[in-house]
Structure 1
């Protein structure tokens, strides 16, 4: 199994009259690890957001999907009020459940998915912890766990190792290697 290939053809982006991206042409093979490297403010996150459909752009972005048309996404950081009484489990419920309100908690099948994802990133013991009490690296691992829940064919990571310590970084790298071996 191999994840989808992605092709950027003459992609451009302007924000407030400022040209952020111009004539980006790029082909990304499926089932492999690829990295965008560039200076701060160089448009990497903007290109990712174009791929995710979050930014209006010119040109064309094509994704050669197979049967699984699911994207997992880990943003650079989670911007939220740290004083909110949201636990890791509450956050995972918001991600997992489409029809059931998050305040009712996870149903059994989603609880298993959430626990497996948190366990995979080494945070199952933090389910009852307040999201705002976690370190920046632990919050990144929670975001990574939520991106794994839909079993994505394409995993898009935007500076995912921001604030991670050595242990978190090692967990992250191992999971990425496993996913790549599985064709994600």
Structure 2
């Protein structure tokens, strides 16, 4: 099956979020510390997600450099964690991938077949907690074209019910969003990221508000996504969880300081370099 490449081009000359489809080029030179996996054109059976390539991606807001020639790869069907200090550019890099911020350099997605669906789970949900919006109302607003005040459409009702069941929120569908705990709202955000079923899932600190039960739900979902061959790009501050659950870890503090397996990446020396105020050379 011919692989496909979606390019998010250098936005100095192109509109933000512009994309095109082309046959994937030959394997580019890899910045990784070990041998990269095969590209989308020769994926193992069962892989449904794309590979991602960030090539010298830079971002400057005003006179402040946010990203400095960020280059790394995300292998298809893997759980790839982004770690680093607050203000180190992790969320900004995600926003460039989603076409929400201007950048220089190139981002490309190599799909195993036709381009699929990208799911996104933000770090938090900002809304007026006084609104009479139930969990079902929120899911309808996020997941279907039909106006939420008309209720769930038959087309999405089953998928929404299944997603809420997977995150343990099926019994709270009629509760107001403003009455939920922070962890419960985070579970609802995880549920909306599952509709429609994604092949690439982008997670921005999904564990930040979860309680112990919610963390168990998230870890079970992560196991399911890996088994389904979905590519996951995951921003996370919980380094213990990253060490247990990620296939690969990129340390980002304005630029890439390391990119390796969790065992190679999460060493005291590398973490000290990563979380220092002024990043030094990569180790």
Gaps of 5+ in 1: none
Q: Distance in 2 between matches of 1:41 and 1:125?
A: 37
Partner in structure 2 of residue 67 of structure 1 = 114
Listed as ranges, the matches of 1:2-21 within 5 Å are: 2=47, 3-21=49-67
Matched, 1:182 2:228: yes
Which of 137, 143, 157 is equivalent to 1:96? 143
CA distance in 2, matches of 1:110, 1:165: 28
What CA distance in whole angstroms lies between the structure 2 residues aligned with 1:68 and 1:85? 37
Map 1:1-184 → 2, pairs under 5 A: 1-2=46-47, 3-65=49-111, 66-98=113-145, 100-184=146-230
Matched length: 183
Work out the CA distance in 1 between the residues paired with 2:82 and 2:92.
11
Once structures 1 and 2 are overlaid, which stretch shifts more, 107-116 or 118-127? Answer: 107-116
SS at match of 1:49: helix
**How high is the TM-score relative to the length of structure 1?**
0.97
- Secondary structure in 2 aligned to 1:35? strand
Q: Which has the higher strand share?
A: 2
Counterparts of 2:87 and 2:200, CA distance in 1: 24
Q: Quick one: distance in 2 between partners of 1:80 and 1:101? A: 18
What is the CA distance between 1:11 and its match in structure 2? 0.2
TM-superposed CA distance for 1:109, in Å, is 2.5
Larger gyration radius, structure 1 or structure 2 = 2
**Partner residue in 1 for 2:246:** none
Quick one: distance in 2 between partners of 1:16 and 1:118?
A: 41
Distance 1:97 1:52 in 2: 20
The answer to whether the Cα contact below 8 Å between 1:72 and 1:152 also exists between their aligned partners in 2 is yes
Runs of 4+ more than 4 Å apart? none
Measure, in 2, the Cα distance between the counterparts of 1:86 and 1:158: 24
Q: CA deviation at 1:68?
A: 4.6
Higher helix share: 1
Deviations 1:65-102 (A, max 9, x none): 2325211111010111111111110010012212x111
What is the TM-score with the length of structure 2 in the denominator?
0.63
